[in-house]
Structure 1
């Protein structure tokens, strides 16, 4: 796959999932704003080889292709359900398989979902440090949403505004990176 792709990755462990729906929505909006194609994966897409994998090479071919797509993406929208105040173990395991340089400089929008406001800092205290380790360009605006932030699947104005702010930041960065790449290719 080309790197002219926005990739969403959701750490949900089941389907259907509000986390995946949220990641899909943000990923689609970012793709539309940047004019890039988009795709969304979740842990379920990686299949049964994930649990026993100690490296990317231990994954089955379709799971390796997903990991390669994540690594080569122009930007990522990452989302995780909140489980006991953090992301799930299998979500972390996916990123444990990556080389620390695989996400260096990559723009990332962080999202998380949870049952209530008490978990709202999961994006700041759990997800942001994880992707800082990879030296990714984690955007300043992250989005945490609980079930109360949606009515019939429609996000509240507060969530809509935060998503808009994150999308503006990401779009600007994706366009700037594309301009730099175009200049470098000349």
Structure 2
């Protein structure tokens, strides 16, 4: 499998690339994949040319094809004006509209203050949801004061494990376990209650039958 990492950091070294590297290591601890890093600052001129000419230069075309062929993505951007950077958005504006459909994409961001910690939810997650990607529940934001803190390491580990599960073909097709089934069992529109069946799936139990069983206890 191929794990592609897109870093929009502008300096070298950068905290954005550092977060991307740590998310990569956390993911590779759970899945056997070949990582490939795309540094957007190296493609800034080509991205601008593509918008003007309508044709991607060779290096940019290779990067776009690499993202489209990935089994999973890690994307990290610095925060500018309370959102993702213009370079980050410009690159994903050039991705084919169907290239990320169903593709696992882990989102991360870096900033100078914790006040921007929700950027992953109000900017990044909606972007990749629009592109129909599969975004893990855990997103990682790292402010300057977060580095070296245990909380950041825990979020990185959890996010990497979630991405790895989405990338693994067996995990995508696995049936939910019994505990998960109980947790999500919905109420039916007819007043019956669904419960997890030991053999798999759900069993419809009429409300009156369930109520009678409770009274008999």
- TM-score range normalised by the length of the shorter chain: 0.7 to 0.9
In 2, the alpha carbon distance for the partners of 1:103 and 1:134 equals 6
> Bigger radius of gyration, 1 or 2?
2
In 2, the alpha carbon distance for the partners of 1:7 and 1:31 equals 12
- TM-score, with normalisation over the residues of structure 1? 0.86
User: What secondary structure, in the 3-state scheme, does the structure 2 residue paired with 1:65 have?
Assistant: helix
Deviation at 1:145, TM superposition (A): 0.6
Partner of 2:106: 109
Q: How does 1:33-44 map to 2 (within 5 A)?
A: 33-44=30-41
Count, aligned residues: 173
Deviation at 1:55, TM superposition (A): 8.6
Deviation at 1:177, TM superposition (A): 5.7
Gap runs ≥5 in structure 1: 181-186
In 1, the alpha carbon distance for the partners of 2:165 and 2:95 equals 26
Post-superposition Cα deviations, 1:111-139, rounded to whole Å, max 9, x if no partner, equal 10001111000000000000001000011
Among candidates 78, 87, 91, match of residue 90 of structure 1: 87
Partner of 1:184: none
Choose between structure 1 and 2 for higher RCO, CA contacts under 8 A separated by at least 6 residues.
1
Among candidates 170, 173, 178, match of residue 166 of structure 2: 173
In 1, the alpha carbon distance for the partners of 2:50 and 2:32 equals 35
- Given that 2:23 and 2:159 are in contact with CA atoms closer than 8 Å, whether structure 1 keeps it comes out as no
Does residue 100 (structure 1) correspond to residue 97 (structure 2)? The answer is: yes
